[in-house]
Amino acid sequence: MASEFVEAASEAALKVGELLLAMLPEARTSKEIRTKRNPTDLVTRADRMSEDLIVGLLRERFPDHGIFAEEGTQHPGTDYRWIIDPVDGTTNFAHGVPIFCVSIGLEHRGRMLAGVVYHPPMDELFWADRGHGAFLRRGSTEQRIQVSDVDRVAQSVVATGLPYDIRESGANIANIGKLCRAAIEVRILGAAAVHLAYVAAGRVEAFWEPALNAWDIAAGALLVEEAGGRITHVSGTPFHVDCHDVLATNGRVHAEMVALLAPSV
């Protein structure tokens, strides 16, 4: 049985999912698309509405908890901190591409305690409670999920993302090239939390990405761990939620991925 934290996050994510699906077919002008850091970093009316809805529901239920959300909502709290991405995959959503999700994680004294990633177009809700496993809920059915048992990158499908400053920095381009030559396929779906959920569910063997934020990875990181996978920095050093880059795998290909992603000398 899911904890009260997972159930609260799930309720919020499902309500936001209804909102996002209703808005998905709207024209770009109606979505009120704006840029943040640069032309590739988008925000829409839906991001702000979704964040307000999630924060309102969680603050009502857990008024002493802290909040840290992508669109700027921050509240100090006790030892608990909700880390929220109201729409992960905003560029996809803004352009009508149905690959985006809601990501809500709960941190307790620096350690992820609960996590929910909801992909509305597929009605797939991934959730995890620390120490109790990871699960996939579709409507009224639920099943435990686990990472794949593939043990070589050459037999793996891997996923990554493109940092917002890629035009200037070129970051990750070389690594994508390496993995295109090493793995079966490299997928770039445009939503870090979806990638992490897919590692947890055994759909892909590995995911790496530089230049992320806590809200991109908080919930998904716990999914991977509770599904039997491994998560670290891209360098292989220990993970923490504010680490800004991530490598998540099924565990069996982790060392090989670290070696492949190591800077060339």
190-223 per-position pLDDT tens digit: 999 999 999 999 999 999 999 899 999 999 999 9
Distance CA 76, CA 227 (A): 31
pLDDT beyond 80 at 42: no
Q: Express each pLDDT in 53-92 by its tens digit.
A: 999 999 999 999 999 998 878 888 889 999 999 999 999 9
Query: Final residue of a domain: which of 112, 145, 178?
Result: 145
Q: How many domains does the chain have?
A: 2
In a shared domain, residues 30 and 114: yes
State which residues form the domain around 62. 4-145
Kindly state whether residues 162 and 233 are assigned to the same domain: yes
Q: Using one digit for the tens of pLDDT, what is the confidence trace for 125-172?
A: 999 999 999 999 998 899 999 999 999 999 999 999 998 778 778 889
Edge-to-edge strand list for the sheet holding 206-209: 185-187, 157-160, 206-209, 246-249, 230-232
Q: Specify whether 139 is located in the same domain as 25.
A: yes
Last residue of a domain, one of 145, 161, 190: 145
Does residue 44 register a pLDDT over 70? Answer: yes
